[in-house]
Amino acid sequence: MRCIVKRLKRRLGGFFLAIVLLAFSLRVGAKAEIVYRSAAKTERMRVALTFDDGPHPRYTPQILDILRENGVHATFFTVGSNADAYPALIRRIRAEGHELGNHTYHHHRVGKMDAATLQQEISSCSDTVFAITGERPLYFRPPEGVCSCDVEEICDELDMTIVLWSVDTRDWAHTPIPEICENVRRNTRNGSIILMHDFIGKNSPTPEALRQIIPMLRELGFEFVTVSQLLAEE
């Protein structure tokens, strides 16, 4: 809503702005409540594992193997340039029942990106995924979780929901595996969206951490679902 008001102020005077806001308050208000999703409001012990930045030729197959061995489905926020480089992995992700999200084409920070470049970044990633799978992502996650009014507007135009996270494993910082697992155990709640990465530099801790996180959370009573399944709870 804040971004919408800001754009309208540039175009309208105070009186007409008040009329427009009154006319659209119900529609805009309802939408503003669901623009950003970092968790789901649910009483069920369900959580969503998400993986950013891939696919990666080494780590994504390892992660997919672990998920398959444990009967878990997850959501992968893919970078378009990596999807173009490894289309077979994108096809495998979908073939094994996982969900694909949009993480821009080049993984550049979008907060200060001009609207035209941002539109190209988001649309190109969706176009790439569509060319490989025949499906367009429903969810967008900005690199580093940095958003802007333009991000909101473009995602609105593309009918995409912005999905962030509520549990950051900090695997991207090569955090020791015991610390990753303890962080997840301590912070996971009903409806949590857990952030991990399938494209990191050398010696990624993510596959082994994932191997431990799945049974740990199951022992606590949690069930794993995709982002779309989690948000459908509401």
Question: In terms of domains, do 112 and 26 share one?
Answer: no
Name which residue leads in pLDDT, 148 or 32: 148
Query: Are 158 and 70 members of one domain?
Result: yes
Residue 8 and residue 15: Cα distance in Å, rounded?
Answer: 12
- Tokens 């910082």: give the residue: 173
Cα–Cα dist 170/183, whole Å: 9
Q: How confident is the model at residue 3 (pLDDT cuts 50, 70, 90)?
A: low
Asked if 127 and 195 sit in the same domain, the reply is: yes
User: Both 24 and 42 in a single domain?
Assistant: no
Domain boundaries, position 134? 37-231
78-106 pLDDT, tens digit each: 999 999 999 999 999 999 999 999 999 99
Q: What pLDDT is stored for residue 20 in this prediction?
A: 41
Its pTM stands at 0.85
pLDDT at 34 over 70: no
Higher pLDDT, 45 or 27: 45
Same domain, 91 and 25: no
Domain identity same for 18 and 89: no
Outline where the chain has alpha helix (H).
Answer: 2-11, 14-32, 59-70, 80-85, 87-95, 115-133, 149-157, 177-187, 206-219, 227-231
The mean predicted confidence, pLDDT, of the chain is 87
What is the distance between the alpha carbons of residues 189 and 153, in angstroms, rounded to a whole number?
Answer: 30
Minimum mean pLDDT range among 20-29, 35-44, 116-125, 131-140: 20-29
Q: Are residues 19 and 70 in the same domain?
A: no
Q: Is there a catalytic annotation at residue 52? A: yes
Lookup result for tokens 């695997």: 171
Q: Is 103 a catalytic residue?
A: no
Judged by average pLDDT, the poorest of 80-89, 130-139, 152-161 is 152-161
- Catalytic site residue from 98, 150, 197, 198: 197
Looking at the structure, do residues 87 and 196 belong to the same domain, yes or no? yes
Q: By C-alpha distance, which of 161, 148, 136 is closest to 109?
A: 148
Tokens 């990191």 -> residue: 200
> Does one domain contain both 28 and 46?
no
Residues 115 and 27 in one domain: no
CATH number at residue 163: 3.20.20.370
Residues 88 and 177 in one domain: yes
- Minimum mean pLDDT among 40-44, 74-78, 164-168, 220-224: which range? 40-44
Question: Does pLDDT of 120 surpass 50?
Answer: yes
Query: Do 19 and 61 belong to one domain?
Result: no
Count of structural domains within the chain: 2
